[in-house]
């Protein structure tokens, strides 16, 4: 459990620092948006490119990828169906909600847990690359195609088609992931003079996202009546912390015959909280920001007892 405690301590400290910076206004009034844009346009694309170029792709294409990726897509789809039929949400809110319910904090908390609790970082690698290569681009393509400039008043057919075609091709996160995959497949490693700056920028992605998350909490009340979409948040949080680990357990045990440490590892990873990157995406597109922020905070707190229960039952 020391890895769990360590990972959560890192998160709370970084978010706390961001909150203090917001309360003291050291970085100015627009710090949250500026920092979120830095993560979106610079740091995360660099992280994706460097991670893919330096990864062994044979480890990625394994049954862990099928279990983690399949469960994430299934939970996201369940959220979309329920939120569409029950809550009548628009497509951008559905996209952010789907990510909030199934996009795992695989870097900042996942890697420490994989190393210190599971003794094997390979369990987290397939999920990490699935999220950055497949899941994020899917959501970003959807957002690019459905979110238009508020000054236009409403989306036109022409602008929507143009956004669907041009948007993904100019999205920095999609470009970073695709470029990294291509370079990795052809087996070429860029010179150190190129890789080192990308590594430095990539390493700043997670702490910057956590600081932006802390900044977003300044002057707001989580789950506040009248302002916070409570039903959306409750739905996303329940799917993330309860439904996703249960689904992974079913798939891993009865679908792939896993047991013991492997089964334990799969379920623990599924119980990790919502990644702060979802808030970065929501901020970038100016949609469902409260949903992303509150779900990330609630699932971060709730995942502590959830992982403890999983450890007692399966470890």
Position 73 pLDDT exceeds 90: yes
pLDDT, residue 180, reads 86
- For the entire predicted model, the pTM comes to 0.76
In this structure, are residues 236 and 295 in contact, taking their beta carbons and an 8 Å threshold? Answer: yes
So where are the chain's domains?
2-215+227-310
pLDDT band at residue 265 using 50, 70 and 90 as cut-offs: confident
Q: What is the CATH number that goes with domain 2-215+227-310?
A: 1.20.1530
Q: Could you report the per-residue pLDDT of 96-115, keeping only the tens digit for each?
A: 999 999 999 876 666 667 66
158 or 41, which is more confident?
41
156 or 87, which is more confident?
87
Helices (H) and strands (E) in the chain, counts: 18, 0
Nearest CA to 204 out of 43, 48, 6 is that of 43
Q: Could you report the per-residue pLDDT of 113-133, keeping only the tens digit for each?
A: 766 566 665 667 778 778 877
Cα separation, 199 vs 203, in Å, equals: 6
Cα separation, 146 vs 155, in Å, equals: 8
pLDDT, residue 152, reads 38
Mean pLDDT, residues 257-261 taken together: 87
Cα separation, 238 vs 86, in Å, equals: 16
Cα 315 off chain centre by: 26
Nearest CA to 307 out of 113, 76, 123 is that of 113
In this structure, are residues 271 and 306 in contact, taking their beta carbons and an 8 Å threshold? Answer: yes
């Amino acid at each position: 459990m020391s890895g769990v405690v360590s990972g959560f301590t890192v998160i709370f400290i970084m978010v706390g620092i961001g909150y203090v910076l917001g309360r003291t206004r050291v970085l100015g009034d627009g710090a949250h948006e500026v920092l979120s844009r830095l993560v979106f346009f610079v740091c995360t694309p660099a992280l994706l490119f460097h991670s893919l170029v330096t990864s062994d792709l044979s480890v990625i294409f394994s049954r862990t990828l099928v279990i983690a990726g399949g469960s994430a897509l299934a939970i996201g789809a369940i959220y979309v169906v329920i939120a569409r039929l029950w809550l009548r949400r628009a497509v951008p809110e559905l996209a952010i909600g789907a990510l909030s319910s199934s996009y795992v904090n695989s870097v900042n908390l996942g890697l420490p847990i994989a190393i210190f609790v599971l003794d094997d970082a390979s369990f987290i690698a397939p999920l990490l690359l699935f999220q950055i290569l497949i899941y994020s681009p899917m959501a970003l393509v959807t957002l690019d195609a459905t979110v238009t400039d508020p000054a236009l008043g409403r989306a036109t057919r022409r602008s929507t088609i143009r956004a669907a075609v041009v948007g993904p091709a100019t999205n920095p996160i999609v470009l970073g992931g695709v470029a990294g995959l291509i370079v990795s497949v052809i087996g070429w490693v860029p010179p150190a003079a190129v890789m080192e700056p990308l590594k430095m920028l990539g390493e700043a992605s997670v702490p910057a996202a956590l600081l932006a998350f802390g900044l977003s909490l300044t002057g707001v009340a989580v789950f506040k009546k009248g302002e916070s979409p409570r039903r959306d948040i409750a739905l996303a949080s329940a799917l993330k912390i309860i439904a996703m680990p249960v689904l992974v357990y079913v798939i891993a045990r009865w679908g792939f015959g896993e047991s013991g440490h492997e089964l334990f590892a799969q379920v623990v990873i599924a119980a990790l909280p919502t990644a702060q990157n979802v808030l970065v995406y929501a901020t970038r597109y100016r949609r469902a920001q409260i949903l992303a922020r509150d779900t990330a905070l609630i699932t971060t707190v709730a995942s502590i007892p959830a992982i403890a229960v999983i450890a007692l039952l399966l470890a």
